[in-house]
Amino acid sequence: MTALRQRMIEDMKLRNFSPNTQQAYIRAVATFAKHFKKSPQELAAEHVREYLLHLLQERHASWSLYNQTRCALQFFFSITLGQDERFDRVPCAREPKRLPSVLSIEELQRMFVVAANLKEKAMLMTLYGGGLRASELTSLRAADIDSHRMLIHVRQGKGQKDRVIKLASHLLTVLREYWKKYRPKDWLFPRPTLPDQALTRTDVFRIVARTARRAGVTRPVSPHTLRHSYATHLLDAGGDLRTIQVLMGHKHIRTTSIYMHVSQAKIDAAPSPLDLLYASQTPPQ
């Protein structure tokens, strides 16, 4: 590891950046330097602008990757190198707002049935049953399952925040079966060949996508799809937005409110102005 990379990592640790953010920022700076085939400290703000345009025009990168890369390079130049670069001239992009993809109850049930083994079934059910992010699932320890209070303790989720989630009785039954068979000691879902290490986010994404294909779900499915499905189904069942916000660990209620747009129950309950218009008229004799 170079001294420059070590310093950037230390700068991020001092600001309590999450491990995922640290990895993303380091990867972004390394890819930036590789593009120009120079050390990043030999580059400047004009190279940043050129590189961001390259991401959009040639690599067709997403707006989220664009913004993440911009933030990573801004941190590197402004904090790690201490250079007063004018990043206000490189605008942040406004990401298009898209509705979340949600699985039906039948699709979820098929995924649980066709899971490759009991461990993967328990993982999928925990993702959905707790509305967890992939990183939160991989960080779960066996001790975080509180069967006495019927709670799941999420430690240091996004934004370094703890929260608790209701533990469904059916999920507890599956987790007990899983524990009896696999006997995890520390991490709830350890790696198969390295039991002292937790599964990686990449492992979880791969398992979810593979199981969805096996279940006959044709559209792309990620761990976040199960999380979106949890929130939407909870809203369909009569949950209020404030409670769902707390359970999901959202900082702002507007983040949670997007599920109003995909809730089938809310859509069905909304009257149609066209039907109301004709309902108020006396039918012709």
For residue 103, what are its two tokens? 């699985």
- Best CA proximity match to 128, nearest among 251, 233, 45: 233
Q: Which of 7, 141, 153, 158 is catalytic?
A: 158
CA-to-CA separations, 54 to 24, 33, 59, 284, in angstroms, rounded: 19, 13, 7, 65
Partners of residue 137 on adjacent β-strands: none
Specify burial of residue 270 (Cβ count, 10 A radius: 0-12, 13-18, 19+): exposed
Q: Which of 70, 121, 133, 233 is catalytic?
A: 133
For residue 248, what are its two tokens? 């999901």
Q: Which of 110, 119, 121, 227 is catalytic?
A: 227
Q: Is 158 a catalytic residue?
A: yes
Q: Is 261 a catalytic residue?
A: no
Q: Is 224 a catalytic residue?
A: yes
Q: Is 259 a catalytic residue?
A: yes
Q: Which of 35, 49, 224, 266 is catalytic?
A: 224
Give CA–CA dist 33/44, Å, rounded: 11
Q: Is 227 a catalytic residue?
A: yes
Q: Is 133 a catalytic residue?
A: yes
Q: What amino acid positions are annotated as catalytic residues?
A: 133, 158, 224, 227, 250, 259
